[in-house]
């Protein structure tokens, strides 16, 4: 039963990755994936271990002073953030997040939104395509 639930999570998390638009001449961090890596049971609670990947799909490196995060929302409520280091062109960074919910919770009842949050420096040179800054996952 648990294997079927995990499979349904993967099927519900399909996101199209928007590549840098024509004329985008800079870095482009993109949330390219988030998936359930495993689920542990702790009494009446299931602990979902999620792993996400941010990749600079742009044609330039980010500068060393970039301050950026992935904000994590569940059912429209912000729960946490994960810091993402400056990324070179083509470089990826993986972040983790653990989420607890009742063993009796129905499949697909938790709606996750992962949102890239650029703090500094401002400007399109650090993120020239905002279309790939969000990833949604249904668990």
Taking alpha carbons only, the member of 138, 139, 107, 137 closest to residue 32 is 137
pLDDT, position 108: 86
CA gap 90, 59 in Å, rounded: 8
- The answer to whether residues 2 and 39 touch, using CB atoms and an 8 Å cutoff, is yes
Whether omega before 121 lies within 30 degrees of 0, making that bond cis, reads yes
| Res. 122 pLDDT band, cuts 50 70 90 | low
96-110 pLDDT, tens per residue?
A: 999 999 988 888 889
| CATH H superfamily, domain 2-18+27-138 | Immunoglobulins (2.60.40.10)
Average pLDDT over residues 75-94: 97
């Amino acid at each position: 039963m648990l294997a079927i639930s995990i499979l349904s999570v993967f099927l519900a998390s399909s996101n199209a990755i928007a590549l840098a638009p024509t004329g985008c001449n800079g870095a482009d961090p993109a949330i390219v994936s988030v998936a359930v890596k495993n689920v542990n049971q702790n009494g009446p609670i299931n602990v979902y271990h999620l792993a996400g990947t941010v990749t600079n799909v742009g044609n330039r490196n980010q500068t060393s002073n970039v301050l950026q995060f992935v904000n994590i929302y569940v059912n429209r409520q912000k729960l946490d953030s994960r810091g993402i280091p400056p990324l070179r062109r083509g470089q990826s960074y993986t972040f983790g997040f653990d989420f607890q919910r009742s063993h009796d919770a129905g499949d697909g009842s938790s709606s996750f939104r992962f949102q890239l949050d650029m703090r500094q420096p401002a400007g399109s040179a650090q993120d020239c395509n905002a279309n790939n800054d969000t990833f949604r996952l249904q668990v």
